[in-house]
Structure 1
C-alpha cells in the first residue's frame, strides 16, 4: 500500500477528519499508486493519519476514508459503511415517503457515492475513482440490504471528468426502470423518470421545504418557478391552493408534472403549466401586471465554485427582484440556492439587494435547510449546500 507523506503544516484538516487532501499538500509518495486504490497518509513527523483513495487527475488527490489504523479498507469496510448509512435512514421510509437519499457521499464517509431509493428502484451516482473501483461491491450490498427491482446508474457528472472517468449510465442490476416510476413523498404520488430525468431522477432534498411552504398555500394563488416534476406545486394543491402556475423550461418536466396533477386527483382547471425560460416569463408577468400570493424560486446551481460566486450573486439578485415585483404587501417568496459556494448570510444579503431594487420592504420569517437524509458532517461543512428563505413583503 502506497505511503503518502504530507508537507509540514498541511496536515491540520486531515487530523480534524476533513476528508479531502489536495495535491499541493503532498510532499512525497513512496511509489505512484493506481487511481482509486487505497493509500496510507502520514504527516511530516511520520505519524499515521488515515487511509484514503488516491487520484492523480483530481485536485483532491486523496479522499480520506478511515482514521483508525487497525481497520482494513476493503470490501467489508465498504459494506459496513453502506449498512450504517442505510440503517440511519430506514425510519424515513414509510407509506407516505417511499423516496429517500440512502448515501450522501462524504457526509456518510463514502466519498464519491450517492444512492437514492425511488420506490422499488435505486439510482446511484459514482463520481470518484475510489467508489468506481468498488462499484460491484456497492451494488451487491445494496441488493442484499434492500432487494430492489433494479439499480440504475446515472453517473453523467462533471465531477467524473475531474477524476479522469468517463460518463457511465445504465442498468447495474435487475430490471431497467420503466419510463415512469411510482413514488410517494409527503403522501403525494409522483411519477418520476429515473433514466432521463434531471440528476438521479428526483429532488428529494426539498421534501421538508415543500411541505413547510405549502402550509401557507390554502386559498392562495401560487407561482412555482423551476417546478421540475411539481414538488412545490403538488404540496400547495394538497394544502388547498386556489390556483398554481408552474413554470419550467423542460418539456419532460412539464409532461411529468401534468401526469402528477391528474394522478393525485387535483383539479386540473386550477393548474396552469408553462414551458418557458423562467426569467423571460417573470418579465412577461410583470409587464402584464400579474400578482401572486406565494412565489417559489428554486433555480439550478448558479455558483458551481467560489470563483463563480460574484456572477451567480448577480443572477440570484435579478431573479429574486423579478419575483418580488409580483408580490403585494403580505405576499410570500420562498427562495432557494443549491450552490454550496453561497452561504446563508451572503444569500440574505443578495435577497436584501433584490428587495431594494424592487422597491419592496421585506422580512425574513423562516430559513430552509436540507433534510436529515442529506446530513452535514461536522468535519465537512462543504456538504451544506441547500439553503432557502421564506420572505414576506411588508
Structure 2
C-alpha cells in the first residue's frame, strides 16, 4: 500500500468534506506542499489535525484529487475497489436485464465512490475512461478488482489526462478478445454502431438515452426535424424511427457524413431520404433563414466549447445567441430541445439563457419537460457539479 501524504484543510473546506463534498479543490491546498507524483494516497485532516477522510492525489480540472473514504480504518486496496464496483453493478441490475438496451454506464466516478474514472458497458465489452494520472496509478488494482467482480468479452480504455484535458493517443485495448467494429448495441430498441478502438468518443453519448427516447416516443411523428451539432446522428436516427417526415443533420466535422449514414443504415432507415449537411451550424442557420426553411423540432446539443474558422462557441457565454438563431427557424407550435453538458452553470442559469433568448426574439414559450442525467450516471447531492446535463423541451407559441 502506498504511504499516505497528509494535507490540512481550513475550516471552510473541512466542513465541505464533512458534508460529503468529494473533490479536493486546488484552492484548498494552494499554500501547502503536495506529493511529488500523482497517485499518492492522501490523509486529509482539519486545522486541529483531526482525521477527515482518505483520498488520492490526481490533477483534474479544478481539483487535485478525490475523497475515497471517510472511514479512518479503511484500507485503499483491491478489496476496496471490489466493494465499490460490486455496489455499482447492483444498482444497474435492471439495465443488465433489459434486452432492448445493451449500452449504458456501470460506474460513474464520484457518484459511485471513486472520482476520476467512469466505466461504460457495450454488450459485453467495457470501456474504462481515466481522467487523471492519479487515478490511473491504480489501474492494475482496478482491473484486477473488475475481473473479480464480472466476466467480459474485452476491456478498452480511454486516457483523458494529457495537458488541457486532451486525449492520450494509445492502443485502447486492455484485455480479453479484441472486438470486431463497428459493434452494434441497442438503446431502447434503437441500434447504434460504436467503435471502442477509435479515439476518445465511441459514436454515441450514453447520457442522452432518456432524451432520445422522448424524441422517438413523443415528439417526432409527422415532424420535420433539425439536429444541430449532430455528431453521428443519434438524435436523427431516433427521430426518423419515431416517424419524422424528414430529418436534417448538421455538423462541421467531415466524418459526420459517413457516421450518420451508418447510424441510419443499421436501423434500416433510407439515408438518402434524409438530409445530412457538413457545415458550420451557425452558417447553416443563415442558410436556412435565407431559404426560408422552418422545422417543427430542433435539437440543440452543442459541446461546452467549440471553435471553427469563423466562430468560437462557449456554452456559458453564447447559448442565448444560439437559441435565438434556432427560434427564428422554428415553426409555430414547434419544439426546441435545448441541451448542454456544461458543468459551469446550473439549470436555473440555463433557464435564464432560455428566458433571455425568447425575450429578445419576442416569442412566447413554455418548458414542457426537463431532464438531467439518467440513473446509471449516478451522482451525489453533495457534488452538484457532477450532475452536468441540462435538457429542456421548449414548446413555442
Asked if Structure 1 and Structure 2 have the same fold, meaning a TM-score greater than 0.5 normalized by the shorter chain, the answer is yes
Task: Name 2:376's counterpart in structure 1.
Answer: 373
Is 1:36 the counterpart of 2:31? The answer is no
- 1:319-342 CA-to-partner distances (Å, cap 9, x unmatched) read 111111111221111110110112
Q: Which moved more, 1:286-295 or 1:26-35?
A: 26-35
Partner of 1:74: 77
How has the CA–CA distance of structure 1 residues 289 and 30 changed in structure 2, closer, same or farther, with 3 Å as cutoff? closer
Superposed, which structure 2 residues align to 1:202-351 within 5 Å?
Answer: 202-214=204-216, 215-302=218-305, 312-351=315-354
Q: How far off its partner does 1:213 sit?
A: 2.2
Distance in 1 between residues matched to 2:345 and 2:29, nearest whole Å = 29
Match of 2:126 in 1: 122
- Contact 1:299–1:336 under 8 Å retained in 2: yes
Matches within 5 A, 1:185-196: 185-196=187-198
Give the whole-Å Cα distance in 1 for the aligned partners of 2:395 and 2:199.
33
For the structure 1 residues 31 and 107, does the alpha-carbon distance in structure 2 shift closer, same or farther, using more than 3 Å as the test? closer
Report Cα offsets for 1:321-371 as digits up to 9, x if no partner.
Answer: 111111122111111011011211211121222223333222211112111
CA separation in 1, counterparts of 2:351 and 2:150? Answer: 41
Mark the CA change 1:293 to 1:164 in structure 2 (over 3 Å): closer, same or farther: closer
Q: In the alignment, is the contact (CA less than 8 A) between 1:195 and 1:201 conserved in 2?
A: no
TM-aligned CA distance change 1:55 to 1:347, over 3 Å = closer
Alpha-carbon distance in 1 for matches of 2:320, 2:60: 35
Which whole-Å CA distance do the structure 1 matches of 2:30 and 2:392 have between them?
Answer: 44
Whole-angstrom distance in 2 between the partners of 1:218 and 1:11: 53
- Would the alpha carbon gap of residues 168 and 43 (structure 1) be closer, same or farther in structure 2, given more than 3 Å must change? farther
- 1:28: how far off? 8.5
Aligned length: 386
Distance in 1, matches of 2:27 and 2:200, equals: 34
Q: TM-score, normalised by structure 1?
A: 0.90
Over the residues paired in the alignment, what is the CA RMSD in angstroms?
2.6
Contact kept? 2:248, 2:274, Cα under 8 Å: yes
For the 8 Å contact 2:173–2:197, the answer to whether it is kept is: no
Q: Structure 1 293/31 Cα, relative in aligned 2: closer, same or farther at 3 Å? A: closer
Pair 1:131 & 2:126 matched? no
Conservation of the 8 A alpha-carbon contact between 1:368 and 1:387: yes
Structure 2: state its 5+ residue gaps. 307-312
Of 37, 45, 48, the residue aligned with 1:45 is 48
Q: How high is the TM-score relative to the length of structure 2?
A: 0.89
Deviation of 1:164 (Å): 12
Deviation at 1:30, TM superposition (A): 9.4
Cα distance in 2 for residues equivalent to 1:163 and 1:192: 23
Equivalent position to 1:3, from 2, 6, 23: 6
Write the distance in 1 (CA, Å) between the matches of 2:255 and 2:261.
10
Instruction: Decide which of 168, 173, 176 is 1:171's aligned counterpart.
Output: 173
1:151 lines up with 2:165 in the alignment: no
Q: In 1, are the aligned partners of 2:25 and 2:65 still within 8 Å (CA)?
A: yes
- Matched residue SS, 2:255: helix
CA contact (8 A) 1:7 1:27 kept: no
Q: Does structure 1 conserve the Cα–Cα contact (< 8 Å) formed by 2:112 and 2:379?
A: no
Structure 1: distance between partners of 2:377 and 2:34: 37
Q: Is the 8 Å Cα contact of residues 111 and 128 (structure 1) preserved in structure 2?
A: no
* Alpha-carbon offset, residue 315 of structure 1: 1.9
Deviations 1:2-21 (A, max 9, x none): 33222344311111111122
| Secondary structure of residue in 2 paired with 1:367 | strand
* Residue-by-residue CA offset, 1:109-159 (whole Å, 9 max, x unaligned): 11110111112321111112332111122223333434222211121x3x5
Q: Give the superposition deviation at 1:163.
A: 9.1
Unpaired runs of 5+ residues, structure 1, are 304-309
User: Contact 1:154 / 1:169 at 8 angstroms: preserved in 2?
Assistant: no
CA distance in 1 between counterparts of 2:215 and 2:184 reads 24
Residues 332/382 of structure 1: CA separation in 2 closer, same or farther (3 Å cut): same
1:113 maps to 2:124:
no
1:231 and 1:163, CA in 2 relative to 1: closer, same or farther beyond 3 A? closer
